[in-house]
């Protein structure tokens, strides 16, 4: 549906491996003072300046993690960086460098990789991170992208999953479930397009959802805001797999229970409308959808005044003793255990 047929195709074999690496990376300028040596040597060199180095990596595989029939390559490059930066911010660290490794089949011309790297470059520019290395290899089929992100933080600022305490408030940034519904829309349009290639979908009513799926933003702004209002969360995690799965990680690592209130979960109006259209429960989507890349964290009750009324934050529950379990308090005021269902369970449910 998005494919642009008017493209020139330069075969990767015309450039050779080093020519390709040089071509793709020549415009990446170094921005971080901690980057001592970047692309071009056997390894990059980072000056940690007495701080702790935070590292996270992700591997994305065509057909498993992304579908190029509706994911433009520029967006894919951008999103590959976002999913990694999100993990660095979830540690309350500043993201400073990335490495990008790709495996490509000869199905991809140079122009396709230029698009991918344009997205990576945009992400690096907006989030002020340096591309300092990577690896380039061939694949027999499809595209693989692995991004590793590095970040720096003062030792006393690092926020793990294990610090939540009984009585802490459970807080989330932004809203949830929109990315999952964006994916449902894109997959539906893909099927329509297969049957009727000339159909022109009107995606305007779904613009926010599609943007959340194709161009997510890692919440660096939330990390900056928390610093500004002088809050250090007691624990934090980013929401990549769905709210319930992340809550369970926080509680298990912190050895606590939780009470999560269904009526407090922040949902965008477009997301609610589309859930009605798909006849799917919006709470289920928020709990199990994933790919929101929002931050979920706990704060001491004494910090409540600092976030009160701030539209970036929603208090969705509170931490309880471990023995009380992890529970969702529904709108009907019944208590049900929180289980990690993930998108697998969700996709089964939508099929019946
Ligand atoms: P080596 O033989 O030591 O693995 P390479 O020839 O693969 O080195 O890489 C040369 C330089 O280019 C290194 O600095 C490496 O980190 C960088 N590099 C390789 N592939 C990529 C890529 N896809 N994106 C960014 N940098 C890359
Ligand atoms: Mg190499």
Burial status of residue 67 (CB atoms within 10 A of its CB: 0-12, 13-18, 19 or more): middle
Cα 217 to ligand 1 centre (Å):
27
Task: Report the alpha-carbon distance of residue 124 to residue 130 in Å, rounded.
Answer: 6
Instruction: Quote the pTM value.
Output: 0.93
Ligand 1 pocket, mutate which of 22, 26, 38, 39 (most atoms under 8 A from CB): 39
Overall average pLDDT of the 102-114 stretch: 95
**pLDDT band (50, 70, 90) for residue 348:** very low
The two three-digit tokens of residue 106, written as one number: 């000869």
Mean pLDDT of 8-35: 92
* 308: pLDDT strictly greater than 80: yes
Q: What is the CATH number of domain 12-157?
A: 3.30.1330.10
Average pLDDT over residues 231-258: 97
Looking at CATH, the fold of the domain delimited by 169-351 is given as: Phosphoribosyl-aminoimidazole Synthetase; Chain A, domain 2 (3.90.650)
Q: Domain limits of the chain?
A: 12-157, 169-351
- Determine the pLDDT at residue 347: 53
Q: What is the reported pLDDT for 342?
A: 57
The ligand 1 atom nearest the CA atom of 40: 14
Q: Would the pLDDT of 349 be above 90? A: no
- Taking residues 301-323, what's their average pLDDT? 98
**What are the φ/ψ torsions at residue 229 (nearest 5 degrees)?**
-90, 10
The H or E element that residue 78 is part of is helix 73-89
Q: What is the mean pLDDT of residues 48-63?
A: 96
For 91-101, the pLDDT digits (tens) are: 999 999 999 99
């Amino acid at each position: 549906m998005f494919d642009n047929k008017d493209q020139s195709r330069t075969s990767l074999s015309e450039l050779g491996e080093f020519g390709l690496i040089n071509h793709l990376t020549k415009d990446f300028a170094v921005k971080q003072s901690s980057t001592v040596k970047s692309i071009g040597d056997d390894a990059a060199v980072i000056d940690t300046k007495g701080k702790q180095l935070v590292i996270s990596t992700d591997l994305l595989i065509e057909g498993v993690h992304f579908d190029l029939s509706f994911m433009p390559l520029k967006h894919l490059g951008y999103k590959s960086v976002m999913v990694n930066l999100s993990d660095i911010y979830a540690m309350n660290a500043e993201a400073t460098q990335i490495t990008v490794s790709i495996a490509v089949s000869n199905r991809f011309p140079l122009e396709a990789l230029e698009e991918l790297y344009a997205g990576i470059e945009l992400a690096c520019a907006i989030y002020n991170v340096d591309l300092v290395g990577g690896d380039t290899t061939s694949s027999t089929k499809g595209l693989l992208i692995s991004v590793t992100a590095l970040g720096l933080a003062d030792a006393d600022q690092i926020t793990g999953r294990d610090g939540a305490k009984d009585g802490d408030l459970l807080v989330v940034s932004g809203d949830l479930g929109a990315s999952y519904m964006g994916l449902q829309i894109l997959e539906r349009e893909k099927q329509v397009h297969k049957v009727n290639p000339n159909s022109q979908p009107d995606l305007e009513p779904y613009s926010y959802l599609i943007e959340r799926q194709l161009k997510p933003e890692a919440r660096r702004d939330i990390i900056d805001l928390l610093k500004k209002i002088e809050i250090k969360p007691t624990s934090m995690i980013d929401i990549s797999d769905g709210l319930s799965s992340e809550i369970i990680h926080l509680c298990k690592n912190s050895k606590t229970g939780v009470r999560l209130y269904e009526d407090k979960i922040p949902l965008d109006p477009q997301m609610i409308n589309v859930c009605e259209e798909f006849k799917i429960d919006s709470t289920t989507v928020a709990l199990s959808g994933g790919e929101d890349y929002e931050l979920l964290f706990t704060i001491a009750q004494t910090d409540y005044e600092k976030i009160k009324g701030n539209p970036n934050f929603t208090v969705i529950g509170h931490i309880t003793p471990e023995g009380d379990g992890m529970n969702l308090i529904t709108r009907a005021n019944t208590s049900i255990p929180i289980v990690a269902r993930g998108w697998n369970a969700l996709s089964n449910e939508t099929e019946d």
